[in-house]
Structure 1
């Protein structure tokens, strides 16, 4: 088994040793937005566990009032220096690592300490609040608020570009634009959160403009070593359009990405995941359809990665039949620091995720549910 999964693959300017990727996983263990030693241990464990490509947890491109108050950043030299220790360790273990660049857009909160420090409003494409949310560390546990419509989206694109400059200085092999899960890029794409009347709203080409300009800015820094993650089914963070509009919107975006003079290193598409769906007024929010079947056909020059709830046998079949070139695992990497080695050796995936200590805000000892999962014997 696993001849396909354990075949090297060129993405951009680098070759990864296998196709068992580790997707971005918010774990909330940073120290006041700065990566620390426990994070280094976490990433090193998974590099030593055989991951061909690690994508970092979402890395904030600027100070924001996220629900995950110990999320890491990448906007100043302190962050660069801290991440450099992690990328050096990952490279020393024979793996590669991308930084996932993350702006929350409308799902920050103005009363969060980091947002107050930033001294700027919570921005979104339009002044439309997402339903839901829960900021447990703010008195009363408030939900999402109505954002301030971004006056000039190019100012936020500049933040992504500077984060890419910092990522390169920190030793990351590339960057992945977080275009999924109801965060800023996704908010621009979705007509339920973007009702602008300027060149960034209205038509599908206008709603796709922010993503395309952000990618262009990242490529000015990283050339071919730029990727994007998309979650067309939506659901999470109150996202989702009708099926026909969803397919047309993401199909257009993928077509335009394929026209870039320099191809993206990879495009990661996620399928529907009930774990990330939400319910409002008795109805599930996500738009369910065959994501790979409807959208995978648009990806020809970039490598196509697929994820969300994959198990090894299914991943092997997708790669061996040529439907995708690589896969990302999430929860399985969370609970199995040696996941790739287990798959290759045919060992069981028998660690259970510790959901009670998934995020740093839920623990007094950051190692619990983070670096204390046993490797296979």
Structure 2
């Protein structure tokens, strides 16, 4: 029996047609081990299977929907048959351990770089809603460690919507239980939502409804493939990361509208990311994000989708909000990196005592398989 302080996290949960065994979820964690060509490999299978032994719901690391650049090399994709086959092996391993897995579908938009190998292969510019560069960026795998570039404003955003739909088709073929649209952290969907990165004057920008259009249509494309009860979205209204964030009034108006409209689509869940100070950069001497109480501000708007949350939760804090009915499940991130048995440790009152090696978070760009294992699949489980 789980300790009383965390017991609410070990109640099963119905998510559409799925039954999830606990409410301790694994957040998307980019680890850059799909070496060398964005194809999921045997090492990735081992990593996910270790964590599937106790996680209720697993969200994959961000999965690239097109061979356009990424902030890091060796992130997995889902545009080719070889990638679909690789993901199927991971999914089979996760299901064998009794867990559920959604693919997080990811397009970086303006925070790609034209000199990234994937971007060169794609043969297209770095696309975004508007030709506005994000501040910051440090592409360590590119000579000179350049920052972000000014992107090309996409003429027809429906081209990008088609990438999401095709990725969903491939994810379904691979066997995923569902898909999560990455609408957070300053990536493409977030860039359309935010008035500081989207200054379009056509039907894709300007008003709250117009800025919400891309993300809502992307959800509809995913629903077309998977059905509404196997589609979800991750949102980070407080912004900050990747140079995102609007004034508070604009933020609340924009995300209240978007969440209400997304909820009307009947999707499985909306993951509301809380404000996290370490993910909020400083520009011009002040924090970039818009700090406010994410759960109190938006959770009440969700009448159909389940309320999940992410962002620096402790296990006791998470159990309390689940018990109070404010949130129905909580994503943990960093804890899963150095504790492959995170949920089992919490259930049996075991300490989280594996020290984390930050030097191996993203692997090494041109490393042997043995080197890639370090800090990835070699953290021990508790006895």
TM over 0.5: yes
Query: Pick from 264, 281, 298: which aligns with 2:284?
Result: 281
Task: State the alpha-carbon separation in 1 of the partners of residues 247 and 264 from structure 2.
Answer: 26
Aligned to 1:297: 300
Query: Pick from 244, 248, 252: which aligns with 1:243?
Result: 248
Task: State the alpha-carbon separation in 2 of the partners of residues 104 and 72 from structure 1.
Answer: 13
Q: Supply the RMSD in Å over aligned alpha carbons.
A: 0.9
> Map of 1:62-141 to 2, 5 A cutoff?
62-141=66-145
The change in CA–CA distance for 1:95 and 1:71 in structure 2 (over 3 A counts) is same
CA drift of 1:361 comes to 2.9
Task: State the alpha-carbon separation in 2 of the partners of residues 114 and 307 from structure 1.
Answer: 29
SS in 2 for 1:3: helix
SS in 2 for 1:164: helix
Task: State the alpha-carbon separation in 1 of the partners of residues 256 and 353 from structure 2.
Answer: 38
Task: State the alpha-carbon separation in 2 of the partners of residues 274 and 61 from structure 1.
Answer: 29
Task: State the alpha-carbon separation in 2 of the partners of residues 47 and 253 from structure 1.
Answer: 32
CA drift of 1:3 comes to 2.9
Aligned to 1:37: 42
Query: Pick from 373, 379, 383: which aligns with 1:367?
Result: 373
CA drift of 1:281 comes to 1.3
Q: Which runs of 5+ in 1 are unaligned?
A: none
Aligned to 1:168: 172
| CA contact 1:357–1:363 (8 Å) conserved in 2 | no
CA drift of 1:212 comes to 0.3
Structure-2-length-normalised TM-score:
0.96
> Map of 1:216-227 to 2, 5 A cutoff?
216-223=220-227, 224-227=229-232
Task: State the alpha-carbon separation in 2 of the partners of residues 267 and 187 from structure 1.
Answer: 18
Task: State the alpha-carbon separation in 1 of the partners of residues 16 and 366 from structure 2.
Answer: 38
| CA contact 1:70–1:360 (8 Å) conserved in 2 | no
Question: Does 1:307 find its partner at 2:310?
Answer: yes
CA drift of 1:352 comes to 2.2
CA drift of 1:362 comes to 6.0
| CA contact 2:141–2:365 (8 Å) conserved in 1 | no
Task: State the alpha-carbon separation in 2 of the partners of residues 233 and 204 from structure 1.
Answer: 16
| CA contact 2:29–2:333 (8 Å) conserved in 1 | yes
Find runs of 4+ consecutive structure 1 residues off by over 6 angstroms: none
SS in 2 for 1:4: helix
Task: State the alpha-carbon separation in 2 of the partners of residues 234 and 179 from structure 1.
Answer: 11
SS in 1 for 2:372: coil
Task: State the alpha-carbon separation in 1 of the partners of residues 66 and 365 from structure 2.
Answer: 24
Aligned to 1:252: 257
- Deviates further, 272-281 or 114-123: 272-281
Aligned to 2:273: 270
Aligned to 2:216: 212
Aligned to 1:349: 352
CA drift of 1:360 comes to 2.0
Task: State the alpha-carbon separation in 2 of the partners of residues 141 and 11 from structure 1.
Answer: 43
| CA contact 2:73–2:365 (8 Å) conserved in 1 | no
SS in 2 for 1:133: coil
SS in 2 for 1:238: coil
Aligned to 2:181: 177
SS in 2 for 1:5: helix
Aligned to 1:53: 57
SS in 2 for 1:57: strand
| CA contact 2:102–2:180 (8 Å) conserved in 1 | yes
Task: State the alpha-carbon separation in 1 of the partners of residues 276 and 346 from structure 2.
Answer: 23
Query: Pick from 298, 321, 326: which aligns with 2:329?
Result: 326
Task: State the alpha-carbon separation in 2 of the partners of residues 103 and 23 from structure 1.
Answer: 17
1:194-234 Cα shifts (integer Å, max 9, x gaps): 00011110000000000000000000001020000001111
- Deviates further, 5-14 or 57-66: 5-14
Aligned to 1:376: 382
Question: Does 1:151 find its partner at 2:155?
Answer: yes
Question: Does 1:25 find its partner at 2:29?
Answer: yes
- Deviates further, 165-174 or 355-364: 355-364
Q: Which runs of 5+ in 2 are unaligned?
A: none
1:168-215 Cα shifts (integer Å, max 9, x gaps): 111110000000000000000000000001111000000000000000
Aligned to 1:233: 238
How many residue pairs match? The answer is 374
